[in-house]
Amino acid sequence: MTIAIVKFPGTNSEKDVFRALSVIPGARPYIASSRDGVGTLSEADALVIPSGVSIDEYVSVGAEKWIDGLKNEIQEFAESNKPILGIGNGVQILTRFRLLPGQLRKNVKGRFVCKWVYLRVCKDPTIFTDGLEGLVIRVPVAHSHGRFHFKKKELERIVDSGGVLFRYCNQDGEMIPEANPNGSMDNIAGVKNEAGNVLGIVPHPERATKVELTSADGLILLESFVRSITAR
Amino acid sequence: MTDSEKGQLSLALGREPTETELGVVAILWSERRSYKSSRRWFSEFKTDGENVVLGLGKGAGIVDLGDGILLGVAMESNNHPTQANPYIGSALAIAGVISDVIAHGCKPVALLNSLRFGDPSIKDHAFALKEAVRGISEFANSVGIPMVGGDAEFNDSFGENCVLNAVCIGITEADSMVMSRASTPGHHLVLFGAKTGKERLIDDTESSESSNTSVPGNPLAKRIVIDTLEQLIDGKLLRGLEDVGGGGLALAGAKLAARGNTGVEIHSDKVPICEEDMSALEIVTSDSQDRMLAVVAPENLERVLAILDGYNTPHSVIGQVTDEGFYNLYHYGELKVSLPAVLLTSGFLEPDRFEECLPERTASMDWLVEPLDHVQMLLSMLSSVNIADRTWIYSQFDQHIQANTIVDIGDNSGVIELPKGKRIALTTSCNSSWSHLHPQIGAANSATLAMRNLVASGAKPIFIADCLNIGNPERPESYAEFVEAVKGIGRFSHDFNIPVLTGGVSPYNEKTIDGKSRRIHLTPQVMMAGVLPGNRLPARRSLCTPWANLFLVGETHRELNGSVFQQVQLGRVQGLPPGYQAGMEKSAMEAVLASHAKGIVRSCNDIGRGGLAIGLMKMALRGDFGFRLDLSDIPGSAIGMTEILYSETSARYLVEVTETNQEEFLRTMESCKVVATELGLTLNEPIANFGSFSVDLKEARKAYMSGIAELLDK
């Protein structure tokens, strides 16, 4: 499976994602630069939008044109029902394109947060979490704009339709407010779109890929993403 | 410039300098750029070593880690700009130090920072700290380099003059290293990166109230410079490189020429500028960040320009390397500056500087009052600003980007994994209370603190980088402090055979307030790196097994002067700080490293600020286990509970060892002639039992976690 990792000028995690995917059998990742323009994604079976600077920072230096330049192509990719994974601020790009519900707002404490967190994987079966239902996994977060916000009706809809894939929890899997690092509504850390082919996860699975880094749980998530490509 | 410096310049030139020339020389001969007061003392440092590729005085330092991997390091201060505008100054510190490392072709892999601010219970000081943290956070996180180490210290002397030192670590391979020199006449000088504006960093000698026009570096621009450089270096297209930051094109061009024994010709009108009406002098002395000056051979020029075009990064061929030995600056064809490059970089007079006798200090501990309630005392210590948990600060730094971080900030030392499975430990340390009381001992023991951080992780120290933050070197007392600090670090480097690879001096950290001069407590900041032998995993400081034995390595003496305990009890520091004991320190280091090598260390912490009690509490608070101890028989001259608990004697470690490995551990200690004392056992229960009193870990954690956070959340 060919997986395009999309790099915009302010993207800073593309190599981390590349390294993580490279060790997964069957995955053939490549870095697709937005500078190469439209067409760079055409050969891919799946997309990853890695983390980078926040949209605010792009806007402040007038660089959002690079992101919007690939908007149509990424939207078409989503419409063709191929899998897309957004990580960290990559989720912000997908919500900007309206490929994922909600918004990512500034953390409730108003400052960047970097820490290890636990996530509870949803119990409902989804293509991205097949075989991981109900698991508690450990991955790091690192963001200033990681707080999921939804309109009331929207929240009800995605919760009811099984659109929430990951929630912040404590070590024992309890989804309590203290386990929430950024004030996200309902402890939400990851969501999918209605069609089920676009996934956004705010924490960083690509930074938890081996026990030496104190957790290999992120690799399990990425492996599951790679399996979802074949499953289609 | 002084009159004698102007005289020196005219004499050397055999003519009167032009206005532009004077402007350029004034910058290059300033204390900050020339080290004219300080460099005469650098011979005190051990600088050589078998793995040293690029040593002191040559830009960033570089060591060979073996298997073709080179590690680069740069350390810088940005104190005055940070005092004037903490958000911008701190971001610029990070921007600058990254530039130093990438200018040698290194990929940046880690950052560290050291913060010294006024008491955060005072609102203005807390605000300055918060702004500095935000500046570092936004810049470093966006560029995408993990912050893996740092330290913070607070006292009143930093209220008017904060200290911000930053370290960047990078890696490269032997054949990709780029030197900061222009060796071949006829090569082109290509400037790329951000456009040049009228920014000028605040000069060290200016007071921070003066106008400040510097703007924050742009992380996106830095990211693009890093990506561009990576491609240029992978293609082996550069023959020399120098970052253009503080000191501007004047300094960068002069360095390239002087180091390459060549000259340069620079056309300031070719420089991409972002403001109208800039004079030649303004262009070449602009401190705008995120610019690089590359030396490119004619045959590579087309490819280099194509790559720069591809990144849409501003760039221009601004001149060339000549064989005349001169720094020639043209503005629209008019020759504005024609000075020998060597004259610019080293033609200055070293001014006379005088040292005053420093105050005598006494070892007396007459001031000590045994606390009535040891539980309350311990809680006060845990919540005091120089002990309390720093998560509020460090959680704002991305510690895991690049996915190589093995140990986060807050443990013994930060540990990252490099290519080929190499693991290195990184730490920064400085005790400015000790250094204030006794500069030489304080500086040497700031280095032993850093070394113990590494050794506790299981890493063998390989190099030192330092930054000496001092007062006004024109004042004999400040100058004496500086000289003693150099001697202290110099002594340490020779005693332990660890080279000083790179460093800096930040002078003039003082201010006159109401007619009285207020200078910082001397801050000889030490950064140290170590390798984990055999690519072992590092030990952490958190207790990790119940019913394991806790050992104290080393002797405990009556050394509460300059300690945190003294600060908490008296509200100030006084007396002679803990001694520097090279012999004991070395034996303890060898013994602990030997235990790591045998794999018998479950967890380990070194003893520093707050002494034995705080060392133990940090081990318990980071883990899930308590302990029960008997402190009735502690070797050394310490008398009474307070001295045993809080004395800051050097050369000590705490080690957790399981029952089965106890004998082996004691044998290892004995063979290194080191005293190891069994203190007691780790417990499943969350309690810290010191024998004569015990503290509930929940209560202790609350004190420890809230000490700084509560002040900063106000």
DSSP annotation string for B615-632? HHHHHHHHSS-EEEE--S
pLDDT of residue A61: 65
pLDDT of residue B266: 97
Is B662 in contact with B582 (CB distance < 8 Å)? no
pLDDT of residue B208: 37
Tokens (6 digits) for B413 = 């030392």
Contact between B220 and A57 using a beta-carbon 8 Å cutoff = yes
Q: Which of B200, B236, B228, B195 is nearest to B215 (CA)?
A: B200
Residues of chain B with CATH 3.90.650.10: 17-43+178-348, 384-388+539-714
**Stretch B631-660: mean pLDDT:** 96
Helix (H, G, I), strand (E, B) or coil at B427: strand
Confidence of residue B373 (pLDDT cuts 50, 70, 90): very high
The ipTM assigned to this model is 0.96
Q: Which of B141, B402, B403 sits opposite A112 (nearest CB)?
A: B141
Q: Tens digits of per-residue pLDDT, A93-122?
A: 999 999 999 999 999 999 999 999 999 999
Contact between A111 and B406 using a beta-carbon 8 Å cutoff = no
In chain A, the percentage of residues whose pLDDT exceeds 70 is 98
Q: Does A111 touch chain B (CB under 8 A)?
A: yes
Say which range, B238-242, B312-316, B521-525, has the weakest mean pLDDT: B312-316
Regarding predicted confidence, which is higher, B59 or B378? Answer: B378
Q: Tens digits of per-residue pLDDT, A21-66?
A: 999 999 999 999 887 777 788 889 999 999 998 777 777 666 778 8
Please give the mean pLDDT across all residues of chain B. 93
Contact between A115 and B395 using a beta-carbon 8 Å cutoff = yes
Contact between B138 and A140 using a beta-carbon 8 Å cutoff = no
Q: Does B574 touch chain A (CB under 8 A)?
A: no
Q: Does B506 touch chain A (CB under 8 A)?
A: no
The span from the CA of A125 to the CA of B295, in Å, is: 58
Q: How does strand B69-77 pair with strand B61-66?
A: antiparallel
Q: Does B231 touch chain A (CB under 8 A)?
A: no
Q: Which of B598, B620, B595, B616 is nearest to B455 (CA)?
A: B595
Say which range, A32-41, A131-140, B370-379, has the weakest mean pLDDT: A32-41
**What single letter denotes the amino acid at residue B200?**
R
Residues of B in contact with A10 (CB under 8 A): 142, 219-220, 223
- Range 44-73 of A in CB contact (< 8 A) with B: 52-53, 57-58, 61, 63
pLDDT of residue B390: 96
Q: Which of B142, B143, B395 sits opposite A114 (nearest CB)?
A: B395
The span from the CA of B668 to the CA of B593, in Å, is: 10
Instruction: Give the chain B residue nearest A15 (alpha carbons).
Output: B402
Instruction: Give the chain B residue nearest A215 (alpha carbons).
Output: B406
Shortest Cα distance, chain B CAs vs residue A159, angstroms = 30
**Stretch A134-142: mean pLDDT:** 97
Q: How does strand B147-154 pair with strand B107-117?
A: parallel
Contact between A12 and B537 using a beta-carbon 8 Å cutoff = no
Q: Does B109 touch chain A (CB under 8 A)?
A: no
The span from the CA of B314 to the CA of A87, in Å, is: 31
Instruction: Give the chain B residue nearest A115 (alpha carbons).
Output: B395
Find the helix packing angle between B611-622 and B374-383, rounded to 10°: 70
For chain A, report the end-to-end CA distance as a whole number of angstroms.
12
Contact between A10 and B220 using a beta-carbon 8 Å cutoff = yes
**Stretch A199-212: mean pLDDT:** 96
**CATH fold for domain B384-388+539-714:** Phosphoribosyl-aminoimidazole Synthetase; Chain A, domain 2 (3.90.650)
**What DSSP assignment string belongs to A136-175?**
EEEEEEEESS-EEE--HHHHHHHHHTT-EEEEEE-TTS--
CATH dotted code for B17-43+178-348? 3.90.650.10
The span from the CA of B3 to the CA of B5, in Å, is: 5
pLDDT of residue A35: 79
Say which range, A57-66, B206-215, B501-510, has the weakest mean pLDDT: B206-215
The span from the CA of B382 to the CA of B377, in Å, is: 9
Phi, psi for B607 (deg, rounded to 5): -100, 125
Any idea which residue has 């850093």 for tokens? B450
Supply the pTM of this predicted model. 0.95
Phi, psi for A32 (deg, rounded to 5): -105, 115
Tokens (6 digits) for A228 = 């979802």
Residues of B in contact with A35 (CB under 8 A): 310-312
Shortest Cα distance, chain A CAs vs residue B118, angstroms = 22
Q: Which of A19, A58, A114 sits opposite B403 (nearest CB)?
A: A19
- Range 146-175 of A in CB contact (< 8 A) with B: none
Q: Does A207 touch chain B (CB under 8 A)?
A: yes
Instruction: Give the chain A residue nearest B421 (alpha carbons).
Output: A212
Q: Does A206 touch chain B (CB under 8 A)?
A: yes
In chain B, the percentage of residues whose pLDDT exceeds 90 is 85
The span from the CA of B213 to the CA of B207, in Å, is: 14
Confidence of residue B203 (pLDDT cuts 50, 70, 90): low
pLDDT of residue B207: 37
Contact between B144 and A12 using a beta-carbon 8 Å cutoff = yes
pLDDT of residue B577: 98
Confidence of residue B517 (pLDDT cuts 50, 70, 90): confident
Any idea which residue has 């995955």 for tokens? A27
Instruction: Give the chain A residue nearest B713 (alpha carbons).
Output: A109
Is B75 in contact with B527 (CB distance < 8 Å)? yes
Contact between A9 and B220 using a beta-carbon 8 Å cutoff = yes
Question: Can you give the three-state secondary structure of B317-328, one letter per residue?
Answer: EEEEEECCCEEE
Contact between B219 and A212 using a beta-carbon 8 Å cutoff = no
Is A111 in contact with A157 (CB distance < 8 Å)? no
Q: Tens digits of per-residue pLDDT, B75-94?
A: 999 999 999 999 999 999 99
Q: Which of A10, A57, A114 sits opposite B398 (nearest CB)?
A: A114
Instruction: Give the chain B residue nearest A213 (alpha carbons).
Output: B406
Diameter of chain A by CA atoms? 46
Q: Does B401 touch chain A (CB under 8 A)?
A: yes
Contact between A16 and B397 using a beta-carbon 8 Å cutoff = no
Confidence of residue B201 (pLDDT cuts 50, 70, 90): low
pLDDT of residue A39: 77
Tokens (6 digits) for B460 = 């063998």
Shortest Cα distance, chain A CAs vs residue B183, angstroms = 34
CA atoms within 13 A on the CB side of B530: 28
pLDDT of residue B490: 98
Q: Tens digits of per-residue pLDDT, B438-481?
A: 999 999 999 999 999 999 999 999 999 999 999 999 999 999 99
**What single letter denotes the amino acid at residue B149?**
G
**CATH fit for domain A2-231, picks 3.40.50.880, 3.30.390.50, 3.40.50.2000, 3.90.1170.50:** 3.40.50.880
Q: Which of A57, A204, A213 sits opposite B142 (nearest CB)?
A: A57
In chain B, the percentage of residues whose pLDDT exceeds 70 is 97
Q: Which of B134, B403, B406 sits opposite A111 (nearest CB)?
A: B134
Q: Is the pLDDT of residue B638 over 90?
A: yes
Shortest Cα distance, chain B CAs vs residue A34, angstroms = 11
Q: Does B399 touch chain A (CB under 8 A)?
A: yes
Q: How does strand A113-121 pair with strand A136-143?
A: antiparallel
The span from the CA of B214 to the CA of B286, in Å, is: 10
Q: Tens digits of per-residue pLDDT, B529-551?
A: 999 998 899 999 999 999 999 99
Shortest Cα distance, chain B CAs vs residue A60, angstroms = 10
Q: How many residues does chain A have?
A: 232
**Stretch A157-165: mean pLDDT:** 95
| Sequence-ordered alpha helix ranges (H) in B119-243 | 123-143, 219-234
**What DSSP assignment string belongs to B460-514?**
EEEEEEEEEE-S-TTSHHHHHHHHHHHHHHHHHHHHTT--EEEEEEE---EEEET
A vs B: CB pairs below 8 A = 84
Shortest Cα distance, chain B CAs vs residue A147, angstroms = 15
